[in-house]
Chains A and B, each alone.
Chain A
Amino acid sequence: MDCTVTIGGCRLKNPVTVASGTAGYGEELSRFVDLSELGAIFTKGLSLAPRPGNRGNRVLETPSGLLNSIGLENVGLERFIAEKLPFLLAKGATVIPNVAGHSEDENEELCRVLSGTPGIDALELNVSCPNVREGGMVFGTDMGRFTSLLDRVRKHTACALIVKLSPNVTDIAGFALAAERAGADAVSAVNTFLGMKIDVKGQRPHFLNGVAGLSGPAIRPLAVRAVYQIYERVSIPVIGMGGISSLEDLLEFVMAGASAVSVGTMNMVDPGLSVRLVRELGEYLAGRGASGLSDLVGAAHTQRSGQ
Chain B
Amino acid sequence: MALLVERPLRLCSAHYLLRIRHTIRECMPGQFVNLRGWSGHDPLLRRPFSVFNRESDVLELVIRVVGKGTEILSRMEPGEIDLLGPMGRGFTIMENRSVLLAGGGVGNAPLHYLARMLKERGNRVSCIYGARSREYIYREKEFREICDSVIFTTDDGSFGTAGTVTDAAREILSHEAFDRIYSCGPTAMMRSMVELAGSAPIEISVENYFGCGIGLCMGCTIETTQGMKRACIDGPVFDGSSIKWESLC
Contacts and interface: CB of A to CB of B under 8 A. Distances in A.
B164 to A, nearest CB: 22
Given A59-B211, A268-B211, A68 B217 contact: yes
For the complex of A and B, the 5 pairs showing the least CB-CB separation, nearest first, are: A59-B219, A268-B212, A28-B215, A59-B211, A64-B41
Given A64-B42, A217-B41, A269-B46, A55 B217 contact: no
B87 to A, nearest CB: 10
B-side interface mostly: loop
B140 to A, nearest CB: 32
Contacts, number: 86
Nearest to A29: B216
Interface string A271-304: 1000000000000000000000000000000000
A57 interface: yes
Interface string B192-225: 0000000000000000011110111111110100
Interface of B: 36, 40-46, 84, 209-212, 214-221, 223, 228, 233, 247
A52 B214 contact: no
Of the four ranges (under 10, 10 to 19, 20 to 34, 35 or more), the interface on chain A belongs to 35 or more
Nearest to A27: B215
29 contacts: A22-B212, A22-B216, A24-B217, A27-B215, A28-B215, A32-B214, A52-B228, A53-B218, A53-B221, A55-B223, A55-B247, A57-B209, A58-B220, A58-B221, A59-B210, A59-B217, A61-B45, A66-B45, A66-B211, A70-B218, A70-B219, A216-B41, A243-B41, A267-B212, A268-B45, A269-B36, A269-B46, A271-B84, A271-B216
Contacts of A29: 216
Contacts of A68: 211, 217, 219
A73 interface: yes
A58 B219 contact: yes
A57 to B, nearest CB: 7
B191 to A, nearest CB: 16
A65 interface: yes
Given A216-B41, A216-B44, A58 B211 contact: yes
Contacts of A61: 43-45
A216 B46 CA distance: 14
A-side interface mostly: loop
Given A22-B216, A55-B247, A73-B228, A66 B221 contact: no
Contacts of B233: 28
A60 interface: yes
Interface string A87-108: 0000000000000000000000
Interface string A37-67: 0000000100000001101011111011110
A269 B217 contact: no
A217 B44 contact: yes
Contacts of A64: 40-42, 44
Nearest to A63: B42
A66 B42 CA distance: 11
Contacts of B41: 64, 216-218, 243, 245
B216 A267 contact: yes
